[in-house]
Amino acid sequence: MTETLAEKVEAVERTASPYHFAMVEPSEFDVVYEINPWMATTDRPDRELALAQWRTLVDAYRAYGHTVEIIPGVPGLPDMVFAANGGLSVGGIFYTAKFSTEFREAEGPLHAEWQKANTSAKVVEATFVNEGEGDYIALGDRVLAGYGFRSTIESHRELEAVAGREVVSLHLVDSRFYHLDTALCVLDEARGLVAYFPGAFGDESRATLERLFPDAVKVSAEDAEAFAMNSVSDGKHVFHAGAAREFGRIVEELGFVSVPLDLSQFLKAGGGIKCCTMTLRD
Q: Could you list the residues that contact ligand ARG (CB under 6 A)?
A: 35-36, 39, 79, 82, 84-85, 104, 134, 179, 181-182, 269-271, 275
Closer of 112 and 137 to ligand ARG (Cβ): 137
Q: Supply the minimum distance, in Å, between the C-beta of residue 134 and ligand ARG.
A: 3
Given the complex with ligand ARG, which of 108 and 134 has the nearer CB atom? 134
Active site residue 171: no
What b/e sequence results for 108-125 when a residue is b if at least 16 CB atoms lie within 10 Å of its CB, and e otherwise?
A: bebbbebbeeebebebbe
DSSP 15-46: -----EEEEE-GGG----S--STT--TTS---
Neighbours of 90 (CB within 10 A): 22
Q: Which is nearer to ligand ARG, 121 or 269 (CB)?
A: 269
Task: Calculate ∠ Cα 118-122-126, nearest 5°.
Answer: 110
Closest CA to 262 of 240, 281, 235, 278: 240
Tell me which residue of 215, 274, 207 sits closest to 250, measured CA to CA. 215
Min dist. Cβ of residue 35 to ligand ARG (A): 5
Which one, 118 or 175, has the nearer CB to ligand ARG?
A: 175
**What's the CA gap between 157 and 75, in Å, rounded?**
33
Checking DSSP bridges between strand 136-139 and strand 142-147, what pairing results, if any?
antiparallel
Catalytic residue among 66, 185, 240, 275: 275
Q: How far apart are the first and last CA of the chain?
A: 45
Please identify which of the residues 111, 156, 179, 240 carries the catalytic annotation.
Answer: 179
CB 217 within 8 A of CB 187: yes
Q: How far, in Å, are 97, 183, 248 from residue 194 at the CA level? A: 24, 11, 14
Q: Smallest distance from the beta carbon of 85 to ligand ARG, in angstroms? A: 5
Nearer to ligand ARG, 179 or 237 (CB): 179
Active site residue 179: yes
Residue whose C-alpha is closest to residue 167's, from 149, 180, 155, 150: 155
What positions carry a catalytic annotation? 179, 275
